[in-house]
Structure 1
Amino acid sequence: MLDVQTLMFREAAEAPDVIARQSAVNAALIAATAARLKTLAPHAVVTLARGSSDNAATYAKYLIETRLGILTSSAAPSVSSVYSAKANLKGTVLIGTSQSGKSPDIVTALQAAKQAGAFTVAFVNVIDSPLATEADVAIPLHAGPEKSVAATKSYLATVAGIAHLVAAWAGDSSLTNALNELPARMVQAWDLDWSKAAENLAGARDLYVIGRGVGFGAAQEAALKFKETCGLHAEAFSAAEVRHGPMALAKDGFPAFILSQDDETRAGVEDLIAALAQSGADILLAGFDDPRALVLPTVDAHPALQPILMLQSFYRMAEQLSRARGMNPDNPPLLNKVTETL
């Protein structure tokens, strides 16, 4: 078994310091970018990303639509990079997210968006990368080197950066104040014990990861990490969508891993848990107490930030689960740190 001090473990543990640094260093840039966005008053936002960064873009979609009321949609990079199709993006903002900023299709798609009239913003860790250079505004993640193939601190830095920008853009003082407390709460989240989830899933082959609203991106990210670091076939679903076709498999001990922030989506999640319990699913739950589930401890915070805190706890558990299943979380099979899709 690997030493517990894997790169994934060490890098995820750095996330609170990363976000504290990012918040301080980027304060003026975030304020200036938010002021620019208010002036532009876009009628739509387009997100651009792949992999973990695309899961962060899902978070951006829900946060922008619920806090600003601006339609937000994910771009398919191949539309411009492969099909060379052109779109009219006047009056829109494109937000690209990437740790490396080097994937050719993401860079090409951002260039095409600029030519189509979009104002482009990039959240990127490598600030001298092609994506950062091409964007109208590049917002550094300040995550530092991330050597593990599995992105952890860079993902958390991306969603925290998005939350800071949306809070400033919307003039949301409640979210801004909560963000000031986020690094300290992330330290608390890292110290929580989710080892029972690792024990429960050690022999699993398949599972659902379920979230809803601003928590759906966290569910997508957790499902991705289950696949790449633990060799588990995990599918992410909205708590609403799983009630359709996927519900047919959620029986007889099938694992359902649920992340639920304390907002308007909670009632729907509670209804889903009742249905899953009745069908015999094995429920693992973070967010609130329910006697029908294995309940994982969480840190209280602003609902929009609870998914970030849950992922901080999750990353530690996923690293433990990966090692328990005989895998190396730093070097998943068939994967590279930078995926250069065309």
Structure 2
Amino acid sequence: MSLPAPHDTLMYREAAEAADVIAAQFARNQVAVETLAASLRAAPPPFVVTCARGSSDHAATYAKYLLETRLGLVTASASPSVGSVYEAPLKLRGALYIVISQSGKSPDLLRNAEAARAAGARVVALVNVEDSPLAQLAETVIPLGAGAERSVAATKSYLASLSAILQLVAYWTQDVGLIASLRALPDALREAWNSDWSSLTDGLVPAHNLFVLGRGLGLAAAQEAALKFKETCGLHAEAYSSAEVKHGPMALVGPGFPVLAFAQPDETGAGTRAVLSEFAARDAQVWLADVGGDLPLPVAPHPACAPLLTIQSFYRAINALALRRGHNPDLPPHLNKVTETV
């Protein structure tokens, strides 16, 4: 089977659209997001629950850290099986229930959203397919606006999920700096797309496994990267918090073991760099994605924007790596674009 050129994959083309998608999303959704944010300030939920699968669940990790650090609202990830398989009723009265989905039609997410509404939660859907069953049952819909995404590996829809969360929290908190960062984010994403991460692509061609580290707001980027290594490159990767990796998994890290770290430009960054330095001292094969790292990143307009820039740079690198390893990133084996679980 012949493989396409790096610039010809659907994954490459779709990921390259992310900056334009997000700029349009911010403009289109501003009134709806401001209206939702005002209502949430008027009647604050006691807690927040997210419900998602796959890449969308990684976006939910980002939502957790952003909501908890900016609003002080405890945010938990719902296990879809609790509602769809065990059919266990949850006490959700007054909660904000955020469902994140590209297709908006997986049965387990729909059942949990229905159960949440019945339990008195406020259901908000972040969904790409605007006429989907999920959009129809949600109280409020924030369209991702990513457009058609034909590559099995989600890229622009994942970034659009992060940006939708970012826009909601910016207006919910009425944080002037965070709101200003929305205007600067698309250009920063364009700059990130052109970052040179070829050292990562070159170094991982023969790899069999690796760790991907992040922390806080950056953990979602590590989770997304680890998934993409598995599905597009046939490369086993595990994502860890740069703190959690010290509680057992670091015993595996020795000479030649690959470790990719995403340093978040906030209070967690120093700890991530310190752990990576410790692994480098063991002669592990390490890469650091940072403004001054060997995998360069542009300066983020706000620390909350940094995970989006990281993943945008990563998507270009992982597309190239998949092809170098003999895989078509658009057609991972045994996977479909829309996954429907019960």
Partner of 1:296: 295
- The count of aligned residue pairs is 338
Amino acid at match of 1:319: N
Contact 2:263–2:273 (CA<8 Å) still a contact in 1? no
Partner of 1:189: 192
Q: Give secondary structure in 1 for the equivalent of 2:206.
A: coil
Partner of 1:309: 309
The answer to whether structure 1 residue 234 and structure 2 residue 233 are counterparts is no
Q: Give secondary structure in 1 for the equivalent of 2:141.
A: strand
Contact 2:130–2:143 (CA<8 Å) still a contact in 1? yes
1:163 and 1:226 map into 2 onto residues whose CA distance is 25
Partner of 2:278: 275
1:109 and 1:313 map into 2 onto residues whose CA distance is 34
Q: Give secondary structure in 2 for the equivalent of 1:236.
A: strand
Q: Equivalent of 2:48, from 40, 45, 48?
A: 45
Partner of 1:3: 5
Aligned sequence identity (%)? 56
1:329 and 1:318 map into 2 onto residues whose CA distance is 9
2:116 and 2:84 map into 1 onto residues whose CA distance is 11
The answer to whether structure 1 residue 220 and structure 2 residue 223 are counterparts is yes
The answer to whether structure 1 residue 251 and structure 2 residue 254 are counterparts is yes
Amino acid at match of 1:18: V
Structure 1: tracts of 5 or more residues without a match: none
How far apart are 1:277 and its partner, in Å?
Answer: 1.6
2:171 and 2:320 map into 1 onto residues whose CA distance is 37
How far apart are 1:288 and its partner, in Å?
Answer: 4.4
Flag as ranges the 4+ runs of structure 1 deviating above 3 A: none
Partner of 2:269: 266
Q: Equivalent of 2:121, from 108, 118, 121?
A: 118
Q: Give secondary structure in 2 for the equivalent of 1:26.
A: helix
Q: Give secondary structure in 2 for the equivalent of 1:208.
A: strand
| Structure 1 residues 89-100: aligned runs within 5 Å | 89-100=92-103
Q: Give secondary structure in 2 for the equivalent of 1:27.
A: helix
The answer to whether structure 1 residue 153 and structure 2 residue 152 are counterparts is no
Contact 2:291–2:299 (CA<8 Å) still a contact in 1? no
Partner of 1:205: 208
Q: Give secondary structure in 1 for the equivalent of 2:304.
A: coil
2:61 and 2:91 map into 1 onto residues whose CA distance is 22
How far apart are 1:196 and its partner, in Å?
Answer: 1.4
TM-score by length of 2: 0.97
Amino acid at match of 1:205: H
How far apart are 1:172 and its partner, in Å?
Answer: 1.1
How far apart are 1:173 and its partner, in Å?
Answer: 1.1
How far apart are 1:289 and its partner, in Å?
Answer: 3.6
How far apart are 1:278 and its partner, in Å?
Answer: 2.1
Q: Give secondary structure in 2 for the equivalent of 1:94.
A: strand
Amino acid at match of 1:58: T
The answer to whether structure 1 residue 65 and structure 2 residue 64 are counterparts is no
Partner of 1:319: 319
2:308 and 2:244 map into 1 onto residues whose CA distance is 22
1:281 and 1:30 map into 2 onto residues whose CA distance is 45
Q: Equivalent of 1:106, from 88, 106, 109?
A: 109
How far apart are 1:3 and its partner, in Å?
Answer: 2.1
| Structure 1 residues 129-144: aligned runs within 5 Å | 129-144=132-147
1:39 and 1:106 map into 2 onto residues whose CA distance is 28
Superposed CA deviations along residues 46-104 of structure 1, whole A, max 9, x for unmatched, are: 00000000000000000000000000000000101000100110121000100000111
How far apart are 1:119 and its partner, in Å?
Answer: 0.4
